[in-house]
A and B are shown apart, each in its own frame.
Chain A
Amino acid sequence: MAQVEVNLSALFTELNKHGQNGDYDRAIKVTNKILKAAPGDKKAFHCKVICLIQQSDFRQALKVLQDNSNLSSELTFEKAYCQYRLNAVRDALSTIRDTINPDIKLKELEGQVLYRLEEYEDCLDVYRDVIKNTSDDYEEERHTNLSAVTAALQIWGDKNVDDY
């Protein structure tokens, strides 16, 4: 038993290293090893899903999320992101809206989903909220997206939007 504990923390150390290096190919193999020894490990499972998304294997990522509902209940952002990238934009929106107390990651994604759905007014509200409540390295990108929404509203929404 003690042997297994030691092995697991060594595996997690290895996983952490590969994750930091962006070596998702190696990282996913480690997650598989961990999940073989500890099938209920939510963190290892989470890392596995992240690896699949990083490798642009959204179909497989969504599949493992759906096949392991016991491990994936908290991974709504990852699920919605896969649906978004697989162009199942309506599904992505329901995934996001079914989440109680969505965090800022989900709101960010909701903005992108609404843009894709051409629901620009709701999208604008989401972006205003997200911009108000974030401070990270992506402020400029967020403002670029906001401009795109504003432009879309002006062109297709038949609506004047104030500059701010």
Chain B
Amino acid sequence: FPPNFQPIPCKPLFFDIAFNHVEFPSLEDKVEQKKAAGGGLTGFVKGWLWGGKK
């Protein structure tokens, strides 16, 4: 006594990479509705202006 020290393997580093995949799904289609409506209106106004120029 005291007992001799003995070597033991250390715990290797191990990453939780899967956590990086925990992210929001693409909300493009959900948000886009608004943009599309805006584009539609701009397109309508543009078309109307073009029409007026003719």
Which A residues contact B (CB, under 8 angstroms)? 5-6, 8-10, 12-13, 15-16, 19, 43, 46-47, 50, 53-54, 77-78, 81, 84, 105, 108-109, 112, 115, 138, 141-142, 144-145, 147-148, 151-152, 155
Q: Is B34 close to A, CB under 8 A?
A: yes
Complex contact B12–A9 (CB within 8 A): no
Task: Tell me, yes or no, whether B49 is within 8 Å of chain A by CB.
Answer: no
Total chain B interface residues with beta-carbon distance under 8 A: 20
Closest-by-CB residue of A relative to B22 is: A53
- Nearest chain A CB to B27 CB, angstrom units: 5
> How far is B27's CA from A115's CA once the two chains are assembled, in angstroms?
34
Interface residue B48 (Cβ < 8 Å from any Cβ of A): no
The 6 A-B residue pairs whose C-beta atoms are closest, nearest first, are A148-B12, A12-B30, A109-B18, A105-B21, A141-B15, A19-B24
Residue of B nearest to A110 (CB): B18
CB-CB contacts below 8 Å: B1-54 with A: 9, 12-25, 27, 30-31, 33-34
Residues B12 and A138 in contact, CB atoms below 8 Å apart: no
Given known pairs A13-B34, A43-B30, A151-B12, the reply for A112 and B24 (CB within 8 Å) is no
User: What's the nearest-Cβ distance from chain A to residue B18, in Å?
Assistant: 4
Nearest CB on B from A138, distance (A): 5
- Report whether A16 and B14 are in contact in the complex, using a CB–CB cutoff of 8 Å: no
Further contacts, 7 of them, CB under 8 A, given A9-B31, A46-B25, A77-B18: A16-B30, A19-B24, A108-B17, A112-B16, A112-B18, A138-B20, A144-B14
